[in-house]
């Protein structure tokens, strides 16, 4: 019984993390380049090929992987070797761990670890990622790395607050912190026809959550910890697979943000007006899982579009936005939600 449970959990981890998340993350590194190219009227990388198979350049992630594995693994003089080794691993592991509580389909079978306080788990474990950034910058014994790490730490701490507060509104509306309960709650209908998705009842919350979580992800327009054109940032001294791990973490985080947003604000695996309790099984369950994956991919697309549209903030603008605009707005959102809930 006990080892059977472990075996099934291990299988779920393999399927979700390796097959789905890491693959999607790797493909997104290619999608990012192709998409930015198309936005800028170029073609982008389409030449990696095995034999005569080119597949629009889909083999580029594999080529990148070989390159990352065969490059020199450089450790700068004076670096703290232990932390230098640990930092990318912490960053990636804490991001991957968050997928444990995402319900990919109806019922407990499609969640790795169905926790009652799943959302708190994500916020708690997700903020571990800051250690990867801070330790990576500090351990590399490089001033630019340290500068990037400082920026990253300040930015992540600032936006963590807004991100957490925006989810409070959703918790209040649905009265639960369990992600699978949240998804079930979003299967209900408002006024008999409108799906009660998080984005319908908490539109402001969704926009603020998206902004804050993109800032958490340290990508443009919030890529100050990296700041390619000024300081290379916290991974300035990282090369080969260590750098690739940091790089992959960013893309896995895109998937994570998309997965959280899809679960909390877009009804998870719910297909509107179809089997809201998730008891049908069979073909409908497969369709529901497919629809959830589709939502994740669409939200990844949206994040990439934003990344290739907006220029980088200045650091004071970033802090102003975080503390003076987003935080009061999210607090106001909670107050309004509470008043509406109390009145109805």
Using CB under 8 A as the criterion, which residues of the chain lie in contact with other proteins when the complex forms? 35, 37-43, 305-306, 308-310
Residue whose CB is less far from other proteins, 58 or 65: 58
Residue whose CB is less far from other proteins, 35 or 125: 35
DSSP state of 66: H
Instruction: State the sign of the Cα–Cα–Cα–Cα dihedral 186, 187, 190, 196.
Output: positive
Nearest-5° angle of CA 204, CA 332, CA 162? 70
Q: Which residues, 6 or more positions from 186, have their beta carbon under 8 angstroms from its beta carbon? A: 174, 195, 196, 197, 198, 267, 268, 270
What is the smallest separation between the CB atom of 305 and other proteins, expressed in angstroms?
Answer: 6
Q: For 107, left (φ over 0), alpha (ψ -120 to 50), or beta?
A: left
Residue whose CB is less far from other proteins, 42 or 314: 42
CA–CA dist 306, 138 (Å, integer): 30
* E strand intervals along 189-287: 189-190, 194-195
Closest CA to 131 of 74, 93, 77, 101: 93
What is the smallest separation between the CB atom of 119 and other proteins, expressed in angstroms?
Answer: 26
What is the smallest separation between the CB atom of 41 and other proteins, expressed in angstroms?
Answer: 5
CA–CA dist 178, 174 (Å, integer): 10
Residue whose CB is less far from other proteins, 270 or 303: 303
What is the smallest separation between the CB atom of 301 and other proteins, expressed in angstroms?
Answer: 9
What is the smallest separation between the CB atom of 58 and other proteins, expressed in angstroms?
Answer: 15
What is the smallest separation between the CB atom of 32 and other proteins, expressed in angstroms?
Answer: 12
Residue whose CB is less far from other proteins, 310 or 336: 310
Closest CA to 189 of 129, 272, 131: 272
Residue whose CB is less far from other proteins, 43 or 338: 43
C-alpha distances (whole Å) from 127 to each of 49, 54, 323, 334 are: 39, 39, 18, 22
């Amino acid at each position: 019984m006990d080892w059977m449970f472990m075996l099934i959990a291990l299988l779920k981890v393999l399927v979700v993390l390796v097959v789905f998340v890491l693959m999607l993350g790797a493909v997104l590194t290619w999608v990012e380049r192709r998409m930015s190219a198309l936005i800028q009227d170029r073609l982008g990388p389409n030449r990696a090929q095995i034999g005569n198979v080119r597949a629009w350049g889909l083999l580029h992630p594999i080529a990148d992987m070989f390159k990352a594995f065969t490059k020199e693994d450089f450790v700068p003089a004076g670096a703290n070797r232990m932390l230098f080794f640990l930092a990318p691993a912490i960053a990636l592991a804490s991001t991957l761990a968050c997928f444990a509580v995402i319900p990919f389909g109806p019922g407990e079978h499609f969640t790795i670890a169905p926790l009652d306080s799943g959302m708190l788990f994500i916020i708690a474990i997700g903020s571990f990622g800051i250690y990867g950034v801070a330790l990576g910058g500090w351990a590399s014994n490089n001033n630019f790395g340290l500068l990037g790490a400082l920026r990253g730490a300040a930015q992540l701490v600032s936006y963590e607050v807004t991100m957490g507060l925006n989810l409070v509104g959703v918790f209040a509306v649905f009265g639960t912190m369990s992600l699978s309960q949240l998804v079930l709650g979003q299967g209900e209908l408002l006024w008999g026809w409108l799906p009660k998705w998080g984005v319908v009842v908490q539109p402001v919350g969704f926009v603020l959550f998206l902004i804050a979580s993109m800032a958490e992800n340290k990508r443009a327009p919030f890529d100050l910890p990296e700041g390619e054109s000024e300081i290379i940032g916290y991974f300035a001294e990282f090369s080969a697979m260590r750098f690739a791990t940091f790089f992959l973490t960013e893309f896995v985080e895109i998937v994570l943000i998309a997965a959280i947003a899809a679960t909390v604000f877009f009804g998870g695996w719910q297909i509107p007006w179809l089997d809201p309790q998730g008891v049908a099984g069979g073909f409908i369950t497969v369709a529901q899982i497919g629809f959830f994956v589709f939502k994740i991919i669409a939200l990844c697309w949206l994040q990439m579009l934003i990344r290739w549209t907006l220029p980088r903030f200045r650091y004071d603008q970033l802090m102003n936005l975080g503390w003076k605009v987003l935080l009061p707005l999210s607090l106001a959102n909670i107050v309004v939600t509470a008043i509406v809930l109390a009145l109805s």
